[in-house]
Amino acid sequence: MSSKLDVVLGLQWGDEGKGKIVDVLAGRYPAVARFQGGPNAGHSLHFEGHSFVVRSIPSGIFREGSTNIIGNGVVFDPVTFREECGNIAKMGIDPKEKIVISKKASLILPTHRLLDAANEAAAGKGKIGSTLKGIGPTYTDKISRNGLRIGDILAPDFKEKFEKLKNRHLGQIKALNYECDPDQGEKEWMDALEFIKGFKLVDCEFFVNEWLEDKPMLAEGAQGSMLDIDYGSYPFVTSSSTTVGGACTGLGVAPSKIGRVFGIFKAYCTRVGSGPFPTELFDETGEKLRQVGHEFGAVTGRPRRCGWLDLVALKYSVMLNGVTDLIMMKSDCLDDFDTIKVCTEYEVDGQRTSRLPFDISNGIEPVYTEFPGWKSDLSGIRKEEDLPESFKNYIKFMENYLGVPISIISLGPDRDATIER
């Protein structure tokens, strides 16, 4: 009987703490695969006194004997990847022995980054808050069938293909009246491509399906479900499918191969960049959440917007992904609050609803259910029975509302600060 592809994904607006959980779970899987996103995603790992942020490389890289797959749904920046590999090599890990790369993964060109900046500058106040890593323009080229892929670097006419796409981009940048150096970063990028050729470049769909014939695999998503190109808070979303369906298209597997779906959420909400955020707090409570939770981007360093937990949006994400196991992060960040609120309904045009509306950008008033704070330090607790009663009641309420068990509770950034139920 074949093994299953279990999936870990974020259920909010990203930054839920997926890196830690993949690292925790990766010890049970001989392979971890990234299925979408690019170097705009920063997954933070903390273990044995080390802290590390991975961007393109799957979060299983530090587990002994693991195979790490960069799938075809990923957009790939060779320069960032080479830099990451250099940092990993300093820890005594040979990335060439542990990483395989899909030939069908899309390449981020230096001009994709320039085009990203040009588009954001042209958008002015309407900008989406891009990380300026070239992600959107790369996915645009993929969908419009103009892009280049990893496998193209092996073709004898690659340089001609590159120049054609570069000139296309420069024409678009000129039309946006954006001034730039057309050759910026190109030499470094070409050098990094030579580095990539030293890795195992595979037909990802065959590699993954053959693997699953007798061994399990963990798929790792980037960003979060509320940033999904189809189901997120459009147009303030990322350019890929961040829901479980993206694991099928991003790795080349059938839906029947999906096993458990681990949905990760924070005990409160955060968001980076522009876009609607119904439970956002603009007061001292929001600032307290930001400081206690160290809510600053792992890649960009940008301060994250903070607010109370939104169960309406969370239940929507649980439905979209068929979540089997919920994982709650950063509960310990709420240790010092007298009252903890969760949004259980929206009020829209005087009507209450527990459904996510088509447009959540205007006219939504969150309706909160309040809980007494536990006012005790959770960070050192490692057994469920030692958790305070008020915290257990909080967990029970969420499980009843969402209809899915909370299987893992994270009480700190370290690998060991985890309770499995």
Give the residue numbers marked as catalytic.
Answer: 15, 43
Pair of tokens at residue 380: 């050192």
Say which residues have a Cβ less than 8 Å from residue 134's Cβ, sequence separation at least 6: 38, 75, 77, 108, 109, 112, 113, 115, 116
- Total length of the chain: 421
Can you tell me the distance from the alpha carbon of 309 to that of 89, in angstroms, rounded to the nearest whole number? 39
Cβ pair 79, 259 in contact under 8 A: no
**∠ CA 130-131-137 to the nearest 5 degrees?**
65
CA 45 – CA 292 distance, rounded (Å): 18
Residue 268: which of 5, 1, 15 has the closest Cα?
15
Report the C-alpha gap between 265 and 263 in whole angstroms.
7
- CA-wise closest residue to 7 among 17, 22, 23: 22
Residue in this structure with the two tokens 């940033």, named with its chain if needed: 227
**Phi, psi values for residue 86, rounded to 5°:** -65, -40
What is the dihedral sign for C-alpha 50, 55, 57, 60?
Answer: positive
Q: Which residues contact 322 (CB under 8 A, 6 or more apart)?
A: 244, 258, 261
| Closest by CA position to 12, among listed 259, 283, 210, 221 | 221
DSSP labels, 218-284 = EEE--S-GGG-TTTSSTTSS-SS--STHHHHHHHT--GGGEEEEEEEEESSEEE-SSS--TTB--SH
Helices (H), 27-157: 78-89, 95-98, 110-123, 135-143
Q: How far is CA 134 from the centre of its chain?
A: 16
User: Angle at Cα 389 formed by Cα 384 and Cα 392, nearest 5°?
Assistant: 55
Query: What amino acid occupies position 360?
Result: I
